[in-house]
Amino acid sequence: MQLNQYAKVARAADLVDEAERVLRSALPAPADDEQAVSALREVLELTRRLADEADRLGLGKPAPGRVPARRQLLLGGAEPRAVADVLSGEQGDS
């Protein structure tokens, strides 16, 4: 569903090349944690840009989502948190 929203908004906002670039760089398995975090940050920024464009165009907006608790344990916490909070290193239950 998320990728469908990306495609719909990217086409409508003429951002297909940027969306393709970000997704192609983020989807391969990262070599290390630093590369994984960098790729996730790029996808988060793309999501934010496409959400802004979707709002402007009156389309359904993609959202960054949450990191499941199981994955969050690897990133230093036990509770699910917003992806943006995990990538920024913020603590809390937002």
Is there a single domain that holds both residue 17 and residue 57? Answer: yes
Indicate if 58 and 72 belong to the same structural domain. Answer: no
Q: Mark whether 13 and 49 lie in a shared domain.
A: yes
Residues 51, 33: one domain?
Answer: yes
Whether 88 and 54 map to the same domain: the answer is no
pLDDT digit string, tens, across residues 26-48: 888 888 888 888 888 888 889 88
Each residue's pLDDT tens digit, 65-75? 765 555 554 55
**Hey, is 66 helix, strand or coil?**
strand
Same domain for 49 and 79, yes or no, is no
* 42 and 21 fall within a common domain: yes
Q: Which residue has the tokens 């809390």?
A: 92
Q: Are residues 51 and 71 in the same domain?
A: no
Which class for 31: exposed (0-12), middle (13-18), buried (19 or more C-beta within 10 A)?
exposed
Q: Which residue has the higher pLDDT, 12 or 34?
A: 12
Choose among 73, 66, 57: nearest CA to 2: 66
State the pLDDT at residue 93. 46
Question: How many folded domains does the chain comprise?
Answer: 2
Range of the domain at 82: 66-94
Q: How many CB atoms lie within 10 A of CB 81?
A: 21
Please say if the pLDDT value at position 8 is more than 80. yes
